[in-house]
Amino acid sequence: MARGPDYGAFTDKFVLESTSSAHDQPLHGLTFAVKDIFDVEGYVTGFGNPDWARTHSAATSTAPAVLAVLGGGATCVGKTVMDEMAYSINGENIHYGTPINPCAPDRVPGGSSSGSAVAVGAKLVDFSLGTDTGGSVRVPASYCGILGFRPSHDAVPSAGVIPMAQSFDTVGWFARDPVILSRVGHTLLQKSVMGPAKPSQIIIAEDLFQLSIIPNDRLGQVLVKSVEKIYGGHIVKHMVLGDYVRERVPSLKHFMSKEIKEQEYNIPSLAALSNVLRSLQRYEFKDNHGEWITAVKPELGPGISERVWEAVRTTGENIDACHSVKTELHAALAILLQDFGILAIPTVPGPPPKLQTDPTTLEIFRAKAFSLLSIAGVSGFCQVSIPLGMYENLPVAVSLLAKQGSDAFLLNVVESLYGTLKEQVEITGK
């Protein structure tokens, strides 16, 4: 479908001027867009679905996260398209159209914060706000070749944001420039720049890089060479993360099905971890929206419809075990990373899939993606997706994770590494 100059990114265009006229504000002169999951006073929060919009009235106040960046000097220029009810990482919407991926127009933009990522990738705004429950900032950031930050769980207020699953919901943001990413972060986190910018160790999860179909010389090695140049090779460590998680998170045994143990294409402990995330996500989604779905029976797109109704039918078994896994994984990764350690993994297992790919053919890709995405999701740790240029004309990304509450530190690391990563990508070639 042909789209206009806005790449199909927006559901509503309007201007909300900054609430501060001071020129020294960190976001002075910058423009941004917000995902249509955030309340903006006077506008219906559409949640990606016309039936939702039709059955809800306009917001009477604006979400604190939006107010924070307006207060930081930025101007809001509109609301962006999202996947229905935030229940997809693809970025396709049968009602409002699929925002065009500026990096690869024949590929999905990633979701569910699709329009927010596209608006930044297409240079329509300087930054944007999205949400990330299962991967909805990290995935579109990687697919659109931009920076995407999922903060520590509960680090940014989520009031005035429609909940998806509160155990995992976060308010995230996108930018093309690491300095802007950092400024937006400090504004939202309400924290000053703290801690040393230098990591004590950067751990390369070897088994996770093997999940990616991108050759390692264009992924893990680009990061390693950049780290060596900036910080020195002595801080680089290598490990098999799947084994560590299996040994340190005993409650995962409740989610380790025979099918998972026999999957050749995945890492069993992390496949079980993604089962935890999706089980608890379904349970909480039903608690939030089950009554509305049952009453309204909204028209939902393929893939999303099945997931939503599966959630409505969920019984909530193993929920206590889900919470045990969360506690154990958080503790295990806190021991591993300590205060200033970084874990490096691929953001997703490969390039963005083609538009309108049959959901069944994407099952293995989705399974591997959620093995990667569930690490930060279940632990509550912060994660940033960093673009590493293009491989075979498609965007590539790597992710860095730091312990819960170390968001300002992780933003500093991105600023320190970003220029060298770009140079290394150019040396390595397309």
Is 406 among the catalytic positions? no
Is 192 among the catalytic positions? no
Q: Could you give the 3-state DSSP secondary structure of residue 186?
A: helix
CA distance 192 to 241: 32
Is 212 among the catalytic positions? no
Q: What is the DSSP letter of 57?
A: P
Q: What is the pLDDT of residues 204-259, one digit of tens each?
A: 999 999 999 999 999 999 999 999 999 999 999 999 999 999 999 999 999 998 78
Q: Check whether 17 has a pLDDT greater than 60.
A: yes
Averaged pLDDT of the chain: 95
pTM exceeds 0.75: yes
Provide the pLDDT confidence category of residue 2 given band limits of 50, 70 and 90: very low
Q: What is the pLDDT of residues 62-82, one digit of tens each?
A: 999 999 999 999 999 999 999
Q: Which of 18, 88, 113, 136 is catalytic?
A: 136
**Percent of the residues in the chain that have a pLDDT greater than 70, as a whole number:** 98
Q: Which of 112, 128, 152, 374 is catalytic?
A: 112
Q: Check whether 1 has a pLDDT greater than 60.
A: no
| H-state helical runs in 159-204 | 178-189
Phi, psi (deg, nearest 5) at residue 184: -60, -45
Q: Which of 18, 35, 88, 371 is catalytic?
A: 35
Going by C-alpha positions, the residue among 178, 193, 239, 102 that lies closest to residue 420 is: 178
Amino acid 141: pLDDT: 99
Sheet with strand 127-132: strands edge to edge: 10-16, 75-80, 31-35, 127-132, 170-175, 147-150, 382-391, 394-402, 341-346, 201-205, 236-239
Q: What are residue 174's DSSP bridge partners? A: 128, 148
Run of H or E residues at 269: helix 268-296
CA distance 55 to 186: 36
Q: What are residue 107's DSSP bridge partners? A: 354
Run of H or E residues at 226: helix 220-230
* Domains along the chain with CATH numbers: 10-189 (3.90.1300.10), 201-429 (3.90.1300.10)
Going by C-alpha positions, the residue among 1, 75, 65 that lies closest to residue 35 is: 65
CA distance 38 to 16: 14
Average pLDDT over residues 280-288: 98
Structure tokens at 130: 């999205």
